[in-house]
Amino acid sequence: MGAQLPDPADISKLLRSLLGCTIEFRQASDASPTWKAGFSSLCLDDAGNPVAAFATNARAGAFMGGKLMMLPDGPLEDAADSGELDEVLVDALSEVFNNLTVPFNAIANNPHVASKPAAPTDAVRSEADWLDKPSQTLELTADVLGGDGRLVVLIK
């Protein structure tokens, strides 16, 4: 049996605790391609094989990375609107992705994974073309920084 996707409630609970905010990511009723132009992180098992990935659109990436760093919303809104995250936001987003492995690893029979640093999804796709055709996808949405933030969990 392949890996299982984490429960959206577990992801929201972790993010609320980590980011110190009342964010509620819920399962999206529609798929949005915006995450494909955002930022992603491959999750590797103990043997170094890709098993899963986390991805965000720029809006969710700016929000999560910025809240972790306790930055004000103004610069985060600018980053979300431009689609460009500076090195500080990408590093902070990497830490958020690292923490998101916790609910994934807590699922019985899931392989233990560790996340790689966040990078633009196009660069990650060059390492993992399966991002465009994963076996399972969980797409979550939340209203962040005045728009639709997307967080996606993909299983190879």
Q: Over the stretch 87-139, which tens digit does the pLDDT of each residue have? A: 999 999 999 999 999 999 999 999 999 999 999 999 999 999 999 999 999 99
3-class DSSP state of 58: helix
Question: For residues 43 and 114, is the Cβ–Cβ distance under 8 A?
Answer: yes
Question: For residues 23 and 12, is the Cβ–Cβ distance under 8 A?
Answer: yes
Name the average pLDDT for the chain: 94
| Helix, strand and coil percent figures for the chain, each rounded to 5 | 45, 25, 30
Q: pLDDT at position 22, please?
A: 87
**Per-residue pLDDT tens over the stretch 13-64:** 999 999 998 888 999 999 999 999 999 999 999 999 999 999 999 999 999 9
Structural domains present in the chain: 8-22+34-155 (3.40.1550.10)
Q: pLDDT at position 1, please?
A: 56
Tell me the residue length of the chain: 156
Distance CA 69, CA 52 (A): 25
**Per-residue pLDDT tens over the stretch 82-95:** 999 999 999 999 99
Q: pLDDT at position 23, please?
A: 86
Q: pLDDT at position 153, please?
A: 97
